[in-house]
Structure 1
Amino acid sequence: MKKIFVASALAVAAVSVSPMFAAPAAAQSTKGSAVADLEAAVAQSNAYKTALTQIGTTYKAQIDQVETRSQTLEAELNVLRAKANEEAKKTPRNQAAVDAAIKAFQDKSTAAQRELSQLSQPYDLARTYAIDQISVRLDEAVKAGMTKRKVDLLLSYNPQIVLAAEKNVDITDAIVAELNTLVPNVQIVPPAGYQPGQLMQQKNQAAANAARAAAPATPAAGTAPTTR
């Protein structure tokens, strides 16, 4: 079994962005299309890399605690797994004993994951907060990268599921460069009450409010238009 703890604080969370960007209609048909790995763009940004280094220092005690605890739990799980395998190999086979051994392993595994998740919560939240700060500027970085690379249609993709793509159609590096300019650094200590994705939600809400404020007022139902 692989380690339960896989440095969750250093993994990149999914970024909430639009999967496809298109330039204004007037600009279309004069440029080309491209692809970009937006999650990789965030992960490769200077701000995120610096944040990971800072998190590793600031939360070192918690990270070490989780690593030590994960090794202990893994050893305990190995014992339960071996017992389940041993029961399964017995002749005659006692299915009730096999089921009980398997359940013991599964219950311990679930409890271990829950415990490690709770222990790693402080630095996981710090990582998420860093990503959130970068993500709120991602749309701007994407649009700027498209303009500089003369792209009017951009598709977000995951390199693990794309069979092949010409290097010159991938503008991930251009987006990273824009992020480095827009977000040179981020904070790693979340404010009190912060929830994952909160900054993106606030940005989207502000945009929605602005759109409603800019929309022309419509007469209430049953109200006759004013005439002179």
Structure 2
Amino acid sequence: MTTISKMILKSAAVAIVAMTAPALMSVPAMAQSKTGIAMANYEAAVARSQAFTVAMTQMQTTYKSDIDAVNARAAALQVEIKPLVDAYNAAVQQPGATQQSVQPQAQALQAKQQSGQQEIARLRQRISIATSYVEEQIAMKLEAAIKATMKAKNVDMVLSPQAIIAREPYVDITDAIILELNKLIPSASITPPAGWQPGQADQPQQPPAAQPASR
């Protein structure tokens, strides 16, 4: 897996955590079963869905120029930062070194790291927006996938992993949710509409403004 692939997947995981996914879902009362209470990892379900994995592969080609630019700049930044790291380490190892005495080197290193992070973020902007667009398309189908899985498995309640102290393997229905997601959204677009920003996937289109009547 390339460096940028790992970056994309990491950003995806962070973005999905920020999404509003139901921590508790309920369906009409059904016959009690051994798996009446289940656990599901919603973030993993989205990231492992067919639509997401295919989209990430497609992005390697569609956004190749952006990916190459990010990788090239990241490599260059490592070279640029190394002398500052060496200077800081040398200052720390000086006899009688204190927090105040190494502050200039620490500040120089921190400033370079922050500016580098900001620069990489700018270069990754199109990739980040496209990834968020894919995530939101899939997330819009997540609740339906969860409900379908609950009905199929006779589950009355689904908890997130953070709410579970101990469980049996059969309680985890994440894989079943992924299968439902694959049915509901087998593919997702990696090209956001012009001007699209995260959080807009589920917003209805605004009607055009009324035009003044001609006289």
TM-score of the pair, normalised by structure 2? 0.83
Tell me the equivalent position of 1:127: 131
Do the aligned residues in 1 keep the contact of 2:91 with 2:105 (CA within 8 Å)? yes
Partner of 1:142: 146
Match of 1:51 among 49, 55, 74: 55
1:88/1:23 Cα in 2 relative to 1: closer, same or farther (>3 Å)? same
Aligned-residue RMSD, C-alpha:
2.2
2:93 paired residue number: 89
What TM-score do you get using the length of structure 1 for normalisation? Answer: 0.79
Identity of aligned residues (%): 39
Residue 8 (structure 2) aligns with: 9
Which one of 64, 76, 81 corresponds to residue 77 of structure 1?
Answer: 81
Distance 1:143 1:173 in 2: 14
- How many matched pairs? 196
Q: Distance in 2 between matches of 1:194 and 1:179?
A: 23
Q: In the alignment, which residue of structure 1 is the partner of 2:103?
A: 99
Q: 2:210 maps to which residue? A: none
- Which of 173, 176, 179 matches 2:178? 176
196, 199, 202: which one aligns with 2:201: 199
Partner of 2:167: 165
Which whole-Å deviations, capped at 9, do the CAs of 1:94-152 have from their partners, x for residues lacking one?
A: 75441000011111111111000000010111111001100001000000011111100
1:71 to 1:147, Cα distance in 2 relative to 1, 3 A:
same
Asked which structure has the greater CA Rg, the reply is 1
Using the TM superposition, give the Cα deviation of residue 85 of structure 1 relative to its aligned residue in structure 2, in angstroms: 1.2
- How far is the alpha carbon of 1:8 from its aligned partner? 2.5
Query: Do 1:134 and 1:179's aligned partners in 2 also have CA atoms closer than 8 Å?
Result: yes
SS in 1 for 2:38: strand
User: What are the ranges of 5 or more consecutive residues in structure 1 without an aligned counterpart?
Assistant: 206-228
Q: Which residue of 2 aligns with 1:185?
A: 187
8 Å CA contact retained: 1:20, 1:153: yes
SS of corresponding position for 2:197 = coil
Q: Structure 1's 5 and 85: CA in aligned 2 closer, same or farther, altered over 3 A?
A: farther
